[in-house]
Amino acid sequence: VQAGERVLVHAGAGGVGMAAIQLARHLGAEVFATASEPKWETLRGLGLDDAHIASSRDLGFEEKFREVTGGAGMDVVLNALAGEFVDASLRITAPGGRFLEMGKTDIRDPRTTGEVRYQAFDLGEAGPERNKALLGELLDLFTEGALRPLPVRTWDVRRAREAFRFMSQAKHTGKIVLTMPPRWNPEGTVLITGGTGALGGHLARRFARAGMRHLLLTSRRGADAPGAAELAAELEELGAEVTVAACDTADREATAALLDGVPAAHPLTAVVHTAGILDDGVIASLTPERLASVLRPKVDAAWHLHELTRDLDLAAFLPFSSVAGVMGSPGQGNYAAANSFLDALTRHRRHLGLAGTSLAWGPWAHDGGMTSTLSDTDMRRMQSGGLPPLAVDQGLELFDIARGSDESFLVLVGLAAGAMRGAAPEDLPPLFRSMVRSGRRTAASTDAAGASAALGAKLAGLGSAERVRYVTDLVREQAARVLGHASPKSVDVTQEFRELGVDSLTALELRNHLATATGLRLPATLVFDYPTPTSLAEHFVAELAGDDAVRQGPSLLAELDHFETLLSAGDPDEITRAGLALRLGQMLDKVRGATSEPAGPSVDDDFESASTDEVFAFIDNELGRLGDL
């Protein structure tokens, strides 16, 4: 690239594109670039004005840049697009210009590009020595300030699936980097607040057995707490060096002094915040004092620990939260609020790039901790509600799994789904309602049948071409939703889903959305079997609006399933039941082809004028008749 040449960089807001723009401008070239419209601000930040920016989502760049250059065209095109975008880019490349293909999803034969010099390339083609020289030149340019590092967005390697999906949807600017999870330093110090309590003691033993050599256990009474000396001796026998300190971590100054005392040779590597107290009562009884007494050891202490450790590069920050903040718990409004703060705090820390996972625990078995204040009746109630208390070993195993996770929030409970089956869904916490099987499948099949019938009825009223257009719009709407586009118009109906950015993950998500919208059972390979929005829409029209389907309308059996669901969900009184029995009997006669009743006063008329005794006699007769059938 020479000074004064015109260079077009496609996908200019990506990592390679941003690097190419900087280099081309440094070499004195006039740079043009394309990107999706939401990323234009990134291109402006690289020094391009609006005349030199166009969309990478449509072919408008060809006409715009031809006009801006006065028809002279581009001397160099760095391409990462495919299909008709390549054709348009070749048309605006000046005779003798160079077309560099780095995307390589649509490689052309250089013999067919006329006066344009075409080259598809790999970085490795330059060879080790030349690449070494190039990297040396780049380092010099960074040192001189001629180039700026690219923006970087990082994902923990445990979230690689999410990172690749984000990249496949072209939502990023700059580079995406996968990072390794932070390691717990075995020579570092682990702080456990509430460390002399029953739960803190279990965790301390777990850490000592796992090889953590330096433990700092705090509580309000410190070494004077019951059992503290015995716990320290036990941990020392396991090979750990133990410090038991009296510290109210809700006091910022006291907490700062505690952390200042951590030796530099064994820096703080993890914080486990288990401290907390209960003061249960209905909302009307929660005075400011009762609210503060519960919030203080949870909220104030967690905030002080967050602020005072944010510059220490912790490997873990693990506040112990509670399911009370997730699904509510009668009489624990103050406790639920305190724990919800912990959940929000860890999310805030993640936004700051800091370690943090809030662990929302269900109840633990009696062990001298908070559950020791609960009666046997309370424990049985939790068991019958599907939340049996966690045994200590089970809880510690869950803790080990949780501290290896990259989630900012986890719910750790013992579940007895069988105990929930007898409960009505509305009587369960919303989080657990999908675990109750009763009626779920029938309701789901009914919803699907209803969606299918509604869409089929809509299509029945349209002409052939209008049907395909209507369903194509439906497919585009769902595809735009999955791909993160602001408008369905961004989805080209002739492009293959793979070209639109649909990968294996988004293909399944799109299948699920379309299954809900159409009420059809769809295969996982749907978007690969029907690779464009148009072909998929034509398939749906054939399934939903074939001649037979239009004539017959909704399936009678599907409608019968719907009626059965409504009947099961309701509790009709005797009068309504009698009316239902009458109608069902008449319909059954029609299904079997029975002869109609002789002319005369109708049963409906008799029913309307019948006495209460006559109605009940009719109920017995009709329900017995249906039972015999």
User: Region 468-496: what's the mean pLDDT?
Assistant: 87
For residue 437, what pLDDT is reported? Answer: 59
For residue 364, what pLDDT is reported? Answer: 86
Instruction: Give the pLDDT confidence of 420-450 residue by residue, as tens digits.
Output: 665 556 556 677 777 665 544 444 455 566 6
Residue with tokens 């959940």: 343
**Pairwise CA distance, residues 155 & 172, whole Å:** 12
**In contact, 110 and 119? CB cutoff 8 Å:** yes
Query: In a 3-state reduction of DSSP, which class is residue 438?
Result: coil
Answer positive or negative: Cα dihedral of 61, 66, 68, 69: positive
**Residue 218: how many CB atoms within 10 A of its CB?**
27
Identify the top-confidence range among 18-22, 101-105, 283-287, 521-525.
Answer: 18-22
For residue 386, what pLDDT is reported? Answer: 61
| CA separation, residue 204 to residues 199, 246, 301, 361, 403 (Å) | 9, 16, 20, 18, 14
Percentage of the chain lying above the pLDDT 70 cut: 79
For residue 597, what pLDDT is reported? Answer: 47
The residues near 549 (Cβ < 8 Å, ≥ 6 apart) are 456, 460
Q: How many residues does the chain have?
A: 629
For residue 78, what pLDDT is reported? Answer: 97
For residue 507, what pLDDT is reported? Answer: 80
- Residue 139 sits at φ, ψ, to 5 deg, of -60, -40
For residue 377, what pLDDT is reported? Answer: 40
Of 54-63, 185-194, 440-449, 595-604, where does mean pLDDT reach its minimum? 595-604
For residue 604, what pLDDT is reported? Answer: 47
Q: Strand pairing partners for 415? A: none
Burial 111-143 (b: 16+ CB within 10 A, else e): eebeebebeeeeeeeeeeeeeeeeeeeeeeeee
Query: In a 3-state reduction of DSSP, which class is residue 482?
Result: helix
Contacts by 432-439, CB closer than 8 A, 24 or more apart: 432/327, 432/386, 435/386, 439/565, 439/568, 439/569
User: Region 454-475: what's the mean pLDDT?
Assistant: 84
**Pairwise CA distance, residues 478 & 60, whole Å:** 25
User: Region 168-195: what's the mean pLDDT?
Assistant: 90
User: Region 440-463: what's the mean pLDDT?
Assistant: 68
**Pairwise CA distance, residues 157 & 155, whole Å:** 6
For residue 426, what pLDDT is reported? Answer: 56
pLDDT bin (cut points 50, 70, 90) of residue 481 is confident
First to last CA, the chain: 88
Instruction: Give the pLDDT confidence of 81-99 residue by residue, as tens digits.
Output: 999 999 999 999 999 999 9
**Pairwise CA distance, residues 417 & 267, whole Å:** 44
Mean predicted lDDT score pLDDT of the chain: 83
Token reading at 612: 């209460």
**In contact, 336 and 328? CB cutoff 8 Å:** yes
**Residue 390: how many CB atoms within 10 A of its CB?**
21
For residue 256, what pLDDT is reported? Answer: 97
| CA separation, residue 391 to residues 207, 363, 367, 371, 411 (Å) | 18, 9, 9, 12, 16
**Pairwise CA distance, residues 275 & 297, whole Å:** 6
For residue 605, what pLDDT is reported? Answer: 47
**Residue 532: how many CB atoms within 10 A of its CB?**
19
Query: In a 3-state reduction of DSSP, which class is residue 147?
Result: coil
Full strand arrangement of the beta sheet holding 409-412 = 241-246, 214-219, 189-193, 268-273, 316-322, 358-361, 409-412
For residue 333, what pLDDT is reported? Answer: 86
Residue 551 has pLDDT above 90, yes or no: no
pLDDT bin (cut points 50, 70, 90) of residue 269 is very high
The residues near 497 (Cβ < 8 Å, ≥ 6 apart) are 479, 507, 510, 527, 528, 531, 532, 533
Q: Strand pairing partners for 360? A: 321, 411
pTM over 0.85: no
**Pairwise CA distance, residues 450 & 562, whole Å:** 8
For residue 617, what pLDDT is reported? Answer: 55
pLDDT bin (cut points 50, 70, 90) of residue 61 is very high
Of 45-54, 83-92, 494-503, where does mean pLDDT reach its minimum? 494-503
Of 24-33, 308-317, 327-336, where does mean pLDDT reach its minimum? 327-336
**In contact, 168 and 483? CB cutoff 8 Å:** no
pLDDT bin (cut points 50, 70, 90) of residue 553 is very low
Token reading at 40: 């234009």
Burial 271-303 (b: 16+ CB within 10 A, else e): bbbbbbebbbeeeeebeeeebeebbbbbbbbbb
For residue 561, what pLDDT is reported? Answer: 59
Q: Higher pLDDT residue, 418 or 265?
A: 265
User: Region 313-336: what's the mean pLDDT?
Assistant: 88
User: Region 150-179: what's the mean pLDDT?
Assistant: 88
**In contact, 298 and 341? CB cutoff 8 Å:** yes
Residue 72 has pLDDT above 80, yes or no: yes
User: Region 359-383: what's the mean pLDDT?
Assistant: 61
**Pairwise CA distance, residues 53 & 77, whole Å:** 14
